[in-house]
Amino acid sequence: MWSPPCARWPRPAPGEAVNAAVTRFDTGDHEALDALAGSLSVLPRDCLPASRDRLEAYWKRSVLAAAGGAPAVRVETGGGVTGLAVYRHLDWDTDVLGIPAGRVSVAAVGGGPARERRIAARALAARMVETAREMGDVHVSVRLDAREPPVIQGFEGAGFETVDAILTLIRDLDREGLDPVEEGAARDAVEADIPALRSLAASGFVYDRFHNDPTLGAGAADALHAAWVENAVRGNTGCGVLVAESGGAPAGFFILGEDSAARDTLGFGVGTLVLITVGAAYRRRGLAHVLSVASARRLHDRGNRFVEVGTQLANVPASAVYLASGFRLASTGVSLRWAAAGGEGSA
């Protein structure tokens, strides 16, 4: 059974008495989990119309699901600020990227003075780096809420670097109608589409965290997106892929997903528009709008009240498409990455 040593990070500056004790998190310690949930100033999906109790229940369910069988630690500073982090090795990413990779799937720090919150976050991040090293991983990613500068700064202090910033937009489909879409404008992907969709995916992305990561290189990032859409068409991830055609050939696609925990804890379904691209030769013809509306309609037909979509802060054209399709800005996030020393990837 994996069990971290009790450690203290970071070393206090001269004259400071602040420290942070990091210990193994026991998923059966519901009292500690409840206390941390109650102290969080930012909760996932708090942009949606759900009560605080439901949002906390959603977060706790997510933590317990992530922590099952995975290394998880809690932190407490000398000033009483607490936090929690969960690490997971990523088999699929490792295979596709060609390097051992993992993710900090949960990173949360409770309320308190900003300085102590930074210390707590840095302690958690340092423990996650040690865990990665113990498991042989050399590349670790994490997504943090942009409203949490002390947490972001704590991870930066442990060697994580920013590789992306994300805007998440939502629509309430129970209250807002969708634009009409011509019958047959978008269809379900089939296995025969895979070669064309892989080609679209391998050339369709430039703003994402993989392309922004110098330790990977553009070739690995392109290969990951190609494998991603194939995986989705084969039913191994998400809940479908819609395709728009031009001249009888696939010209763009959208991968769809659903949040399985939202319906039970928040009281409504949340669908996700996961990944979209339109081939360079087919852009500025309205295909991205068609795919966005058709995909939102499909997710609504599956019983989801809300549909969300994320795009990079730098991807202004995509943001314009979603805003024109009736989405509104809901939240912002920052993607960070730690990488073991060893040089940059090749372009």
User: Which residue range forms the structural domain that includes residue 196?
Assistant: 170-332
Q: Coil, strand or helix: which one is 14?
A: coil
Question: How many CA atoms are closer than 13 Å to the CA of 63, on its beta-carbon side?
Answer: 27
Map tokens 């936090």 to a residue: 83
Domain presence at residue 60: yes
* pLDDT given for residue 156 in this prediction: 97
Distances in Å between the alpha carbon of 223 and those of 95, 96, 115, 140, 217? 11, 7, 41, 18, 10
Q: What is the mean pLDDT of residues 1-25?
A: 56
Lowest model confidence (mean pLDDT) among 11-20, 33-42, 268-277: 11-20
Count other Cβ atoms within 10 Å, centred on residue 224: 21
Pairing state between β 139-145 and 101-109: parallel
Task: Say if residues 259 and 272 touch (Cβ distance below 8 Å).
Answer: yes
Domain-embedded: residue 207: yes
pLDDT (mean) for 120-137: 97
User: Domains in the chain: how many in total?
Assistant: 2
Rounded-to-integer distance, Cα 327 and Cα 345, Å: 36
Percent of the chain with pLDDT over 70: 93
Boundary (domain end) residue, out of 159, 182, 198: 159
Contact assessment for residue 165 and residue 334, using Cβ atoms and an 8 Å cutoff: yes
Residues 149 and 202 in one domain: no
pLDDT recorded at residue 194? 97
Return d(Cα 90, Cα 190) in angstroms, integer.
27
| Domain contains 288 | yes
Burial tier of 207 (Cβ tally within 10 Å: 0-12, 13-18, 19+): middle
| Mean pLDDT on 177-188 | 80
DSSP state of 208: S
Question: 49 and 133 share a domain?
Answer: yes
Q: What is the pTM of this model?
A: 0.89
Residue 132 has pLDDT above 70, yes or no: yes
| Banded model confidence at residue 179, pLDDT cuts 50, 70, 90 | confident
Check residue 34 and give its pLDDT. 96
Residue in the structure block whose two tokens are 């879409």: 181
Percent of the chain with pLDDT over 90: 79
**Residue 252: CATH number of its domain:** 3.40.630.30
Residue 5 has pLDDT above 70, yes or no: no
26 part of a folded domain? yes
Tokens of 154: 């704590």
In this predicted structure, what is the pLDDT of residue 235? Answer: 95
239, 243, 244, 247: CA torsion to nearest 10: -170
Number of Cβ within a 10 Å radius of residue 52 = 12
What are the two backbone dihedrals, phi and then psi, of residue 220, each rounded to the nearest 5 degrees? Answer: -65, -40
Same domain, 266 and 177: yes
pLDDT at 229 over 80: yes
CA 308 distance to own-chain centroid: 12
Q: Of 298, 297, 296, 254, nearest to 277 (Cα)?
A: 254
Ordered DSSP codes for 317-332: HHHHHHHHTT-EEEEE
Q: What is the pLDDT of residue 146?
A: 97
Domain match, 138 and 20 both = yes
| 185 and 253 both lie in a single domain | yes
Domain boundary among 99, 128, 159: 159
Average pLDDT over residues 17-42: 90
Query: Pick from 128, 159, 190: which residue ends a domain?
Result: 159
pLDDT tens per residue, range 255-276: 999 998 999 999 999 999 999 9
d(CA 103, CA 146) in angstroms, rounded, equals 18
Q: Give me the mean pLDDT over the 31-45 stretch.
A: 96
Provide the token pair at 306: 């809300």
pLDDT of residue 176: 84
* Domain identity same for 20 and 89: yes
- Round to whole Å and give the CA distance between 161 and 142: 10
Q: How confident is the model at residue 6 (pLDDT cuts 50, 70, 90)?
A: very low
165 falls within a domain: no
User: 181 lies in a domain?
Assistant: yes
SS3 helix, strand, coil % of the chain, rounded to 5? 35, 30, 35
pLDDT of residue 282: 87
pLDDT of residue 342: 65
Chain mean pLDDT for the chain: 90
* Residues 117 and 23 occupy one common structural domain: yes
What pLDDT is attached to residue 114?
Answer: 95
SS3 of 228, please?
helix
Residue 108's region, left for phi above 0, alpha for psi from -120 to 50, else beta, is beta
79-104: average pLDDT? 95
189-225 residue pLDDT tens: 999 999 999 999 999 998 899 999 999 987 999 999 9
pLDDT digits (tens, 9 = 90+) for 299-333: 999 999 999 999 999 999 889 988 988 899 999 99
d(CA 206, CA 197): 16
Query: Tell me, what's the pLDDT at 203?
Result: 93
